[in-house]
Structure 1
Amino acid sequence: MLEKELKRAGNVDVQLLGSSAEGVFGDEGPKLTGFAAFKDSFRRQEPSALDIDPNLSDAEKIAIMTANSPLSRSLKSRHLQMISIGGTIGTGLFVGSGSALRTGGPGGVLIAWLIVGGMIYAMIQAVGELAVTFPVSGAYCTYSIRFIDESWGFAVAWNYLFGYFNGLALELIAASITIKYWNSEINTVGFIAIFYVLIVSINFFGVRGYGEAEFVFSLIKVMTIIGFIILGIVLICGGGPIGGYIGAKYWYHPGAFANGFKGVCSVFVTAGFSFGLTEMAGLAAAETANPRQAIPKAIKQVFWRIVLFYIISLTLIGCLIPYTDKHLFASSSVDASASPFVIAIVNGGIKGLPSVMNVVIIVAVLSVGNTCVFASSRVLAALSAAGLAPKIFLYIDKRGRPIAGIILQSIVGLLCFLAASPKQGEVFTWLMAIGGISGFVNWGSICLGHIRFRYALKKKGRDTSELAYVSQCGVWGSYYGLLICVLILAAQFWIALFPLGKKPNASGFFAAYLAMPVILGFYVAHKIWSKNWKLYIRWEDMDIDTGRRDLDLDLLKQELASEKAALAAKPWYYRVYRFWC
């Protein structure tokens, strides 16, 4: 099957050495037990030798290498679905929404999250279509390399990788600040060490360890938000200990918007930060046993996460807290006391629950840090396979762990101990600056990659009938997603240059917009290094076959037609359920 796949990519000479259950890797030898098995699991998983035609383009060679990564394929459907529902809910929602409310008011928050949420839904649908069709190592980073331009893919991937690298330290520093909610004088270094060891240990258990941990973390977050929504409705209706109907009075006084149009523009990045890592379902595709079945279900859950966990909860927050509330003006952007969820409970006169909510915030922080380790090691392995990172990071052991990438992330993650510095708030700000707007650049690149893929498919005389999953938003959804990302990047440039309520200054500009110069620097450096001066990959040169697990397209079309016919015979309510779930 692998030989057929590689030849489909374009006259590739393939020499397969050895075989295994997957038909890709060599024989692992006799089974070991006990410590010997544990020790042996860290040995390198040797892939079969691939004698690739040197006349192929760089994009085609990259496609072949990333399509044949020896990563484990043991992530289950329930893991992927729970990761999509609540896996990336973290400080952006629980804490960052407080500063957004203060800056934009309840109307600004709702507008920003609705617009960004719509873009996210269109983007994740594009990810779903590409990831089901090409469940390859590196996922969305690889798609930019294959369908847009190698230099652009390199720049976006490395900048996003820096965001992941910072993510572990960033989230652990956030955890240390959250712990100070109970005692501002406490030394948090010991807690950070415990959290650090926990996250690194989880990732050394492999993708199954990550999946099980995220399943539990996400379940806790989802149950908490559902509980808060119920509590919020009760408090708004006057059913709390303090009593008194609240309704929408804070929308009238002090008002719906805190700083007008500029205030709304200032909220977009916070909204984007809260949706960070939503595309993880696509990155995990290469390690999913059955991406054709698991990914569409997981992708559809994102709609409910946007509506239930973001829009509804933030609408309730806007009704429960005026944007002038003194608690929103905490000294740190990640101060747990500035969490609107905590403030709403405190203002409602409920005792005990604020501490419970802060425990959940810590769980959310650990969850996102855990995801950063998982994501960075996989993206680094994909870049290494593509020849865009040192080959050592292509080291994947017999349990399918990109062990070199996990070790590097663990070393960089030691920056978390900067939390012991009295300048921890400043450290947090600059670590955030590196990742800042990179999410919008990556999401826009995903949408553009989907547009380019569909264009190549059409020009080659083929259509969506050969795709196991088709984006519910179609290619126009990706156009919308790309447009929104461009507009938000422009708005953020304006805000970075002329900050709200402050005079223009270089420090503030780079704290808000540092990611863009970094991306452009990587892009130009790769152009010079590779001497590849073309602006984009022509449709004639795009490889739209390598990496497919369903290589027999005629058989796939028959199966899809049979599945559609079976679904059409079901009652209308079942068809509606399947569309959204």
Structure 2
Amino acid sequence: MADEKKVDIAVGGSEGSDVEPGQTEAVESESYGWNRGLSPRAVIMLSLGGGIGTGLWVGTGTALHAAGPAGIAIAYTLVAIAIYIEFMSIGEMTCYKPVHGGYIRQTMEYVDKAAAFAMGMNFWFQWVMIIPAEVIACISVLKYWEAPQHFPEAAYITIFLIVAAIPNFFPVHFYGHVEIFMSILKVLAIMSCMCFMFIMASGGLPATHGPLVFHYWKTPGAFNHGLKGICKALLQAAFSCTSAGWVAMTAGEMRDPRRTVKRSIKPLFYRSFTFFVVNIWLVGMCIPYDEPNLSKSGTLASPFILAVRDGGSPIFAHILNALVFVTVLSCGITSYYVCSRAMTHMSDLGIIHSWFGKKDTAGRPWNSLIISGILGGGLTYLNLNSTAQQVYSWFSSLVGVASFCNWLLIYLSHIRFRQGLKAQGINYKTLPFYTKIAPYAQYFGIVLVFCFLAAQLYFAIFPFSGKPSAENFFSTYITVPLFIIDYFAYKWWFGTKIVPLKEMDFSPALYFDRIDRDEKEAEEANPSPPLTMVDRIWELRRTVIG
């Protein structure tokens, strides 16, 4: 069937590409009951704010304590490189075909349906595990104050699970409005911390008695636990950047998807890089890795709160803790959204049973939402039998390793995507968005992620204690064997095959090409007036903030 739809022209934005009869209806019917209710602003803010949560506020403290300032700088920089390759890969594929399914669909159409099942289950389970991680973090954050410490943890868990689920009971545009507000608070909080720590490291606060700069790199030192410390920091870095490819998963629910993805993909990476990598360097300058509170749970272990406290601003520490609570709760809300969509995507694409993809008239996937919520909520109550720090460490480690597996398939999907374009005579330079570093960057990314996985296997077998532990292995690395089992079991049961290059279906892109062409003709017929200085400032603000 794909051969019948093949075109001999450069599809991506070429002036001669036409939409075949009935193709518009075919593309629009692929909504599978979803409503395109997310505005471009909502998508940008959700993608940006979705990653500012527990992994950044608290996880950086765990990473600093494990690896030291130089160790976390290396780990987060390496992960940032992998994330950049991921952004460019999903940006090119999603901008060309901004349809429902995200990179689960991209894996199915460009690699293999079994690989899509493995990725989908991995991605779904990953976000299910983020639910308890965020709820546990919410409780720990509240314990920064004395009064909440006397309230039963089971009651806290129940309340936060319900509060995080409620926004997902409404249509997607309501969820988008809630998350825009939350994301604005996140950005303000993290930018305030960056400014504060920069001033602190520069010696602008009396409490530091002069510039800090790289003082803590010398005393107590730049590294802690050597290679094992960096391995642990890699997990926390991957956990912190879990939502990097979130924009691809929302393509089927966003308005004006191609323009939104094209305009947001690079700015999103630059903002994420600033918020994570720059903050990591500042954290290493302001807090020593042997700070006793870093081994605790909650915001008492947050290097940001500790930096504000040590900088002599107790009032700001309380304000920041309140903002951290809001941001962590926001990530809990997002976790419900993403894991329910991941399961529904697999159902809509025929990877799993159609029952999981049932939606109401407003596009809410009740079955997958309830199943994901019950499983994620049930795992949260593990906190009642173990310490919050231990449970958080379990879930964050599993999520981090799951991210590595997903990145591998995203890189492979993009390599196959480019090969498919070439096989069907489509010039990649005609795509609305393309990356000049492909496919070499994707091959490098695969090697890099295999190194990450090898490092985690080493750390899973030989933890800090030095003694092999089954508990440590399964709480760190179980995601990898499950990922492999999912792939081969599905492939054996259903007999799936690698998608031939000439059978890859790029025809839905023609529908979006026509929209681009119509918009271009409308702009040429009614040209906009030259931008004033105020307009340019506004455009800059939109690029930076969203």
Calculate the TM-score normalised by the size of structure 2.
Answer: 0.86
**Cα shift readout 1:499-531 (whole Å, capped 9, x = no counterpart):** 234211211111110100111111121022102
Alignment of 1:405-444 (within 5 A): 405-415=368-378, 418=381, 421-425=384-388, 426-432=390-396, 434-444=398-408
Residue of structure 2 in register with 1:511 after alignment: 475
2:217 to 243, 246, 251: 251
Q: What's the secondary structure of 2:266's corresponding residue? A: helix
2:339 to 366, 376, 381: 376
1:209 to 174, 183, 203: 174
- Does 2:306 match 1:340? no
Residue 449 (structure 1) shift: 0.5
- Does 2:457 match 1:460? no
8 Å CA contact 2:3, 2:502 repeated in 1: no
Residue 155 (structure 1) shift: 0.9
1:115 to 78, 99, 112: 78
1:70 to 33, 38, 48: 33
The farther-off stretch of 419-428 and 506-515 is: 419-428
**Cα shift readout 1:19-61 (whole Å, capped 9, x = no counterpart):** xxx975xxxxxxxxxxxxxxxxxxxxxxxxx9xxxxxxxxxxx
Residue of structure 1 in register with 2:485 after alignment: 521
- Gap change, CA 1:548 and 1:391, over 3 Å in 2: farther
Alignment of 1:313-352 (within 5 A): 313-330=279-296, 332=297, 335-352=298-315
Residue of structure 2 in register with 1:8 after alignment: 5
Q: Which runs of 5+ in 1 are unaligned?
A: 11-21, 25-49, 51-63
Looking at structure 2, the residues matched to 95 and 548 of structure 1 have their Cα atoms a distance apart, in angstroms, of 45
Letter in 2 for 1:396: K
How many residues end up aligned between the 2 structures?
519
8 Å CA contact 1:453, 1:544 repeated in 2: no
- Does 2:191 match 1:194? no
Looking at structure 2, the residues matched to 254 and 180 of structure 1 have their Cα atoms a distance apart, in angstroms, of 29
Residue 176 (structure 1) shift: 1.6
- Does 2:220 match 1:223? no
Residue 400 (structure 1) shift: 1.9
Residue of structure 2 in register with 1:132 after alignment: 95
Looking at structure 1, the residues matched to 511 and 322 of structure 2 have their Cα atoms a distance apart, in angstroms, of 42
8 Å CA contact 2:394, 2:476 repeated in 1: no
Q: Which runs of 5+ in 2 are unaligned?
A: 8-22
Higher relative contact order, structure no. (Cα contacts within 8 Å, ≥ 6 residues apart): 2
- Does 2:500 match 1:538? yes
Q: What's the secondary structure of 2:181's corresponding residue? A: helix
Runs of 4+ in 1 over 6 A off after TM superposition: 4-7, 576-581
- Gap change, CA 1:453 and 1:220, over 3 Å in 2: same
2:443 to 476, 479, 485: 479
Residue of structure 1 in register with 2:17 after alignment: none
Residue 240 (structure 1) shift: 2.4
The farther-off stretch of 258-267 and 74-83 is: 258-267
1:80 to 43, 46, 56: 43
Residue of structure 2 in register with 1:273 after alignment: 239
- Gap change, CA 1:111 and 1:430, over 3 Å in 2: closer
Residue 416 (structure 1) shift: 5.8
Looking at structure 2, the residues matched to 385 and 307 of structure 1 have their Cα atoms a distance apart, in angstroms, of 33
- Gap change, CA 1:525 and 1:392, over 3 Å in 2: same
- Gap change, CA 1:301 and 1:194, over 3 Å in 2: farther
8 Å CA contact 2:383, 2:391 repeated in 1: no
1:311 to 269, 273, 277: 277
Residue of structure 2 in register with 1:550 after alignment: 512
Residue of structure 1 in register with 2:20 after alignment: none
- Does 2:57 match 1:94? yes
Looking at structure 1, the residues matched to 450 and 144 of structure 2 have their Cα atoms a distance apart, in angstroms, of 38
- Gap change, CA 1:521 and 1:238, over 3 Å in 2: same
Residue 429 (structure 1) shift: 4.3
- Gap change, CA 1:161 and 1:433, over 3 Å in 2: same
- Gap change, CA 1:539 and 1:282, over 3 Å in 2: same
The farther-off stretch of 437-446 and 350-359 is: 350-359
Q: What's the secondary structure of 1:278's corresponding residue? A: helix
Looking at structure 2, the residues matched to 528 and 65 of structure 1 have their Cα atoms a distance apart, in angstroms, of 33
Residue of structure 1 in register with 2:256 after alignment: 290
Residue 188 (structure 1) shift: 3.3
Q: What's the secondary structure of 2:244's corresponding residue? A: coil
8 Å CA contact 1:8, 1:546 repeated in 2: no
Looking at structure 1, the residues matched to 3 and 222 of structure 2 have their Cα atoms a distance apart, in angstroms, of 57
Looking at structure 1, the residues matched to 99 and 333 of structure 2 have their Cα atoms a distance apart, in angstroms, of 21
8 Å CA contact 1:137, 1:382 repeated in 2: yes
Identity of aligned residues (%): 30
8 Å CA contact 1:173, 1:416 repeated in 2: no
8 Å CA contact 1:132, 1:468 repeated in 2: yes
- Gap change, CA 1:243 and 1:167, over 3 Å in 2: closer
8 Å CA contact 1:127, 1:282 repeated in 2: yes
- Gap change, CA 1:224 and 1:244, over 3 Å in 2: same
Calculate the TM-score normalised by the size of structure 1.
Answer: 0.82
Residue 194 (structure 1) shift: 3.1
Looking at structure 1, the residues matched to 442 and 401 of structure 2 have their Cα atoms a distance apart, in angstroms, of 19
8 Å CA contact 1:88, 1:276 repeated in 2: yes
Looking at structure 2, the residues matched to 501 and 108 of structure 1 have their Cα atoms a distance apart, in angstroms, of 19
**Cα shift readout 1:194-230 (whole Å, capped 9, x = no counterpart):** 3322222211112112211211111111111111111
- Gap change, CA 1:181 and 1:98, over 3 Å in 2: same
Looking at structure 2, the residues matched to 291 and 558 of structure 1 have their Cα atoms a distance apart, in angstroms, of 14
Residue 454 (structure 1) shift: 0.6
**Cα shift readout 1:240-262 (whole Å, capped 9, x = no counterpart):** 24241122211122221223334
Letter in 1 for 2:121: W
Looking at structure 1, the residues matched to 474 and 264 of structure 2 have their Cα atoms a distance apart, in angstroms, of 36
Residue 318 (structure 1) shift: 0.7
The farther-off stretch of 164-173 and 215-224 is: 164-173
8 Å CA contact 2:36, 2:253 repeated in 1: yes
Residue 152 (structure 1) shift: 1.3
Residue of structure 2 in register with 1:43 after alignment: none
Q: What's the secondary structure of 1:550's corresponding residue? A: helix
- State the superposition RMSD in angstroms: 3.3
- Gap change, CA 1:395 and 1:552, over 3 Å in 2: same
8 Å CA contact 1:132, 1:292 repeated in 2: yes
